[in-house]
Amino acid sequence: MKRYNRCLLPIFITLIFLSTFLSATGFKEQISYTPIKEKSLMHGMLAASGSRQAGKLLKIWLSEFHKIYPRVESRSSFEGSSSGIEALLNGRSNIAISSRPIRVKEIQSFRRLKGYAPTELKVSLGAIAIYVNKLNRLESITLKELDAIFSKEKKRGYPKEIKSWQDLGVEKNSSIAIYLLNQNSGIREYFQKKVMLDGEYKELNASSEFSTTEELTAHVAEHNTSITFGNIGIENLKVKSLKVAQKSLFPSYAPSIDNIVNGRYPLTRYYYLYFDISENRTLPPLLYEFTRYILSSDGQKSVYKIDGIALDPQTIGSQLSKLHSEE
């Protein structure tokens, strides 16, 4: 019997350590969502707006939350991150989801109108992929080369504008056809800041802009000289994503879950949720419970349905620490 207890001792110590660690990081809240006892007391309207891609995830969360609390209603409109934050400012929604951080000028608008900045929460991890036609022989690209392809200014210092595939070492000497998401897209703004260092995009005609990554990649699939960027997760017989390197001679990484989670893939980003409430104020019960559900394991499982990646326990804990509920 004593031998049995000695065998259990290391396991017992390990369990105590894990319990302490998970509690400190907020992971206990993430394990599962526990609904309030009187579900009928949870009611009201969740009006959502924002990013098209992240909106797919928010729709899933709204639907699952309604199953828990049938008296909670929702309506949504997803036309882009910018339009979502504008709708939040103007009172047309009480939740905005964005594929980029809120802009300084948007915060200034909130402060002028309301006297405070909105509450911001990270709710999912994701990444941007660089897409080319499957027949393209290029397999990897650097941030400096991407800047020289898409930007007028080449702020990363590439010696010349990249106009043809031959400039990238590909045999064919055909011009590179650039396609982009429209100007309301948070992805487009993220790329501009992360890759182009806030440089200006090259001028394109309206036919070169699309609303979704799916539309972009469908076009790339039919044009073997094209390049674009968008949400990860689209791979088919006619389109492929490139590996990306920080600099020349640096290792390049594919946009895989492992590379994104470990920070090796350079174009990793978050999805953000915004509320029209300052961070030093309490959230109304409906918003508080909805956010608690999103940051639970039940909510984070849904992230993978749109090729997103669940937040790590430490990030979950830091986001939960921002939440304050009304008594």
Lowest mean pLDDT among 15-29, 259-273, 297-311: 15-29
What pLDDT does 327 receive? Answer: 53
The model carries a pTM of 0.79
What pLDDT does 179 receive? Answer: 94
Contact 36, 325 (CB under 8 A): no
Q: Is pLDDT of 7 > 80?
A: no
Phi-psi label, residue 80: left if phi above 0, alpha if psi -120 to 50, beta otherwise: left
What CATH class is the domain 42-125+269-320?
A: alpha beta
Contact 132, 239 (CB under 8 A): yes
Closest CA relative to residue 189, chosen from 133, 106, 312: 106
Examine domains 42-125+269-320 and 127-268 and report if their fold is the same.
yes
- In terms of pLDDT, which residue wins out, 326 or 158? 158
Position 20 confidence tier, pLDDT thresholds 50, 70, 90:
very low
Q: Residue ranges per domain, the chain?
A: 42-125+269-320, 127-268
What pLDDT does 325 receive? Answer: 63
pLDDT digits (tens, 9 = 90+) for 230-252: 999 887 889 999 999 999 999 99
Q: Is pLDDT of 51 > 50?
A: yes
CA angle 244, 273, 254 (to 5 degrees): 15
Q: Is pLDDT of 205 > 80?
A: no
322 C-beta neighbours (distance < 10 Å), count? 13
Position 88 confidence tier, pLDDT thresholds 50, 70, 90:
very high
Lowest mean pLDDT among 149-158, 181-190, 194-203: 181-190
Strand partners, 62: none
Separation CA 194–CA 187 (nearest Å): 10
Q: Which CATH number fits the domain 127-268, given the four candidates 3.40.1360.10, 3.40.1260.10, 3.40.190.10, 3.40.225.10?
A: 3.40.190.10
Question: Residue 98 is inside which H or E element, if any?
Answer: strand 95-98
Position 44 confidence tier, pLDDT thresholds 50, 70, 90:
very high
What pLDDT does 236 receive? Answer: 80
pLDDT digits (tens, 9 = 90+) for 107-136: 999 999 999 999 999 999 989 999 999 999
Average pLDDT over residues 188-205: 93
Q: Is pLDDT of 186 > 90?
A: no
